[in-house]
Amino acid sequence: MSKDDSLGESLRKQGISRRAFMKFCAATASVLALPPGMATVMAAALSRARRPSVIYLSYQECTGCGESLTRSFSPTLESLIFNAMSLDYYETLQAAAGTAAEAARKTAMKENWGKYLLVVDGAVPVGNDGVYCTIAGESAVDILTEAAKGAAAVVSVGTCAAFGGIPHANPNPTGAVAVSQIVRDKPVVNVSGCPPVPEVITGVLAHYLTFGSIPELDHLGRPKVFFGETIHDRCYRRPFYDQGKFAKTFDDEGARNGWCLYELGCKGPVTYNACATVKWNQGTSYPIESGHGCLGCSEPDFWDKGSFYQALSTGTWSGATVLGVAAVAGAAIGVGAAVVSRRRQAHLDNEKQPKEKQP
Amino acid sequence: MNLLDFARGPALEWSFAIFLFGVLWRLLGILLLRRVHDYSEPRAHRAALGALQAIVRRTWPRKEFRARTTYGLAISYVFHVGLAIVVFGFVPHILLIRSLLGVSWPGLPGAVIYFSAVVTLAALVMALIRRLTHPVLKLLSNFDDYFSWAVTIAPLVTGLLAVAHYGGRYENLLAVHILSVELLFIWFPFGKLMHAVLFVLARGQTGVVYGRRGAST
């Protein structure tokens, strides 16, 4: 397969039928909430598209995002990512190692300067000059800065890349930051989630291939088409929330009846993601459908928002000290005020008594 | 830290702290005041009973005043009962109380809560109109009355907006709702909202005096 093949040619060479390709386009257009007619436009655009170079960088991450990506629920989708695009650098999947791998990255960057798509997963540590994450002797922050200069656009895959994620969580010993805090002069799409829904990743890439631009983003840089609604609003358990029916434990009658998991700490009401609509594992289910509340993993700092099992309406307390001190101080001032008042009354009584004795 | 984190975290903690501080200050400051000695001979020895009677009986208007007070009292009953349903019947509120005090009870369906909230909202608006138009009440009202009204109605309005997802993203509406409740907590001990606690003491003290004198409570 030549790198200069169009997508349509490369798919044909791999034995992927036109019918299968059209089904993929229709599914992707549907996922992106585009009108049905756009599936044909998408198919035409993708067929003509030259396989773009993709450089996939991984930093402070657990490879969960990569795992998610490889479980994209259709072979056609997998084929799109790994064959239809020229994946020129991805440590998890590439055969090359050591200097050969780094040379492949540099060659791809040079040959496609200004045109390649830069995909990043993992947060970027900037503490102590970035020594906490180095590859081939270069720090993550230096590699990212250099790679971003020649990128057409940057896709931050996963909450770590999008918002700092777990490496950024308190106390953040490595000074981990989001990709968007390093790359400020290029469009950055945040595909958050821990990990993100695979179809959301591929949907964003397909959108870029089709329209040559990044999709419309929300205020956190996430594609609105996937992150426009909360899990709660699209949750099949929502009617139980409205009826006031809640599971109290993970194995009580309410849980068995599929009642709302709000009391068990579900963060669905404030979490924007496509889990409830696109779902996971070939559209099988999503965490809430499997009986566990939403952790809010596609939101910034989800790791530092209190217990996953505390209901959203409860507070996140620093401890009992502030309340204890306030109670003691209030009681002390109340007693003090009463004592001052009593003394004043006694003083007034003493002043009053001699006068009463006067004739 | 976004607005919701702030509302659920430090703002909630500090508003509770100020609430606790203020309530204890005012309660102890009143309870520990010196009692005025009544040197007269008691006509009846039913001070405790008189206190209890006054606390209970004064929740209902005396026949003599009924014609003049029924409208105002009806409005007050509607918004007090409505507020109680909303505050103590909505499951997210019960969960907050449980996390603080360890006690809980079954919640009510959302429809009941939303209906109560709308009725309460209407009653509070009627109460304000009455205060602004009543010739005597108008003269008696000061900043405390209007501000206490505002901090009471604000959580209802923001809560309904959050439920309806109207006026912004849900997390921001929820944050504003929580912040409006926190404003109520902060104001509570220092304004007329403190009547929620002090009415027992005020009525009780009146009942003690009347009971000692053998008067009707």
- ipTM, interface predicted TM-score of the complex: 0.82
- Confirm whether B40 is domain-assigned: no
Residue A88 and residue A56 in contact, taking contact as beta carbons nearer than 8 Å: no
Q: Measure the CA–CA gap between B178 and B12, rounded to whole angstroms.
A: 8
Residue A75 and residue A108 in contact, taking contact as beta carbons nearer than 8 Å: no
Looking at the partner chain, which of A243, A300, A326 has a beta carbon nearest the beta carbon of B110? A243
Check residue A291 and report its DSSP letter.
T
- Confirm whether B93 is domain-assigned: yes
- Cis preceding-peptide flag for A171 (omega within 30 of 0): yes
Helix (H, G, I), strand (E, B) or coil at A155: strand
Return the H-helix or E-strand segment holding A242.
helix A238-243
Chain A residue closest in CA terms to B30: A338
Strands A86-90 and A53-58: parallel
Tell me which residue has tokens 């959580």.
B155
- Confirm whether B34 is domain-assigned: no
How large is the C-alpha radius of gyration of chain A?
29
Decide if B8 and A327 are in contact by the 8 Å CB cutoff.
no
- Confirm whether B7 is domain-assigned: no
Return the H-helix or E-strand segment holding A156.
strand A151-157
- pLDDT higher than 70, residue A195: yes
- pLDDT higher than 50, residue A205: yes
* Calculated CA dihedral for residues A113, A119, A124, A126, nearest 10 degrees: 10
**If contacts are CB pairs under 8 Å, which of residues 285-304 in chain A contact chain B?**
300-301
Decide if B93 and A243 are in contact by the 8 Å CB cutoff.
no
Looking at the partner chain, which of A244, A315, A317 has a beta carbon nearest the beta carbon of B110? A244
For A230, phi then psi, to 5°, come to -80, 160
Chain B residue closest in CA terms to A316: B9
pLDDT one-digit tens code per residue, B125-136:
999 999 999 999
Over residues A119-128, mean pLDDT: 95
Decide if B32 and A339 are in contact by the 8 Å CB cutoff.
yes
Q: Measure the CA–CA gap between B114 and B159, rounded to whole angstroms.
A: 9
Chain A residue closest in CA terms to B177: A313
Between chain A and chain B, the number of residue pairs with CB atoms below 8 A apart is: 124
- Confirm whether B2 is domain-assigned: no
- pLDDT higher than 90, residue A25: no
* Average model confidence (pLDDT) across chain B: 92
| Residue A56 pLDDT | 92
Q: Which of A161-165, A196-200, B167-171, B204-208 has the highest mean pLDDT?
A: A161-165
Selection from B175, B147, B125, B173 nearest residue B10 by Cα: B175
Beta bridge partners of A50: A6
Over residues A190-202, mean pLDDT: 90
Residue A291 CB-half CA count within 13 A = 10
A163: pLDDT confidence band, cut at 50, 70 and 90? Answer: very high
Decide if B109 and A312 are in contact by the 8 Å CB cutoff.
no
Give Cα separations from A263 to A311, A319, B51, B86 (angstroms). 5, 22, 41, 18
Q: Where are the alpha helices (DSSP H) in chain B?
A: 3-6, 12-31, 47-57, 66-89, 91-101, 110-133, 135-140, 143-164, 170-187, 195-213
Check residue A137 and report its DSSP letter.
T
Which of these CATH numbers, 2.60.120.10, 3.40.50.150, 4.10.480.10, 2.40.128.90, describes A232-304?
4.10.480.10
| Residue A222 pLDDT | 97
Selection from A231, A300, A229 nearest residue A260 by Cα: A231
- Confirm whether B176 is domain-assigned: yes
Structural domain boundaries of chain A?
Answer: 52-227, 232-304, 326-359
If one compares B214 and A252, the residue with the highest pLDDT of the two is A252
- Confirm whether B20 is domain-assigned: no
Topology annotation, domain A52-227: Rossmann fold (3.40.50)
Residue A53 CB-half CA count within 13 A = 23
Decide if B95 and A314 are in contact by the 8 Å CB cutoff.
yes
- pLDDT higher than 70, residue A130: yes
Decide if B96 and A325 are in contact by the 8 Å CB cutoff.
no
Q: Measure the CA–CA gap between B127 and A267, rounded to whole angstroms.
A: 37
Q: Tally the domains of chain B.
A: 1
If one compares A125 and A2, the residue with the highest pLDDT of the two is A125
Q: Measure the CA–CA gap between A270 and A263, rounded to whole angstroms.
A: 14
Q: Measure the CA–CA gap between A157 and A194, rounded to whole angstroms.
A: 9
Tell me which residue has tokens 């000074």.
A175
- Confirm whether B3 is domain-assigned: no
| Residue A76 pLDDT | 47
Burial of A129 (0-12, 13-18, 19+ CB in 10 A): exposed
Residue B70 CB-half CA count within 13 A = 4
Beta bridge partners of B150: none
Selection from A282, A207, A155, A266 nearest residue A25 by Cα: A207
Taking contacts as CB-CB distances below 8 angstroms, the residues of chain A near B24 are: 327, 330-331, 334
Strands A116-121 and A53-58: parallel
- pLDDT higher than 50, residue A1: no
Domain that holds residue B143: 62-189
Mutate to test the interface with A, among B24, B178, B201 (most CBs of A within 10 A): B24
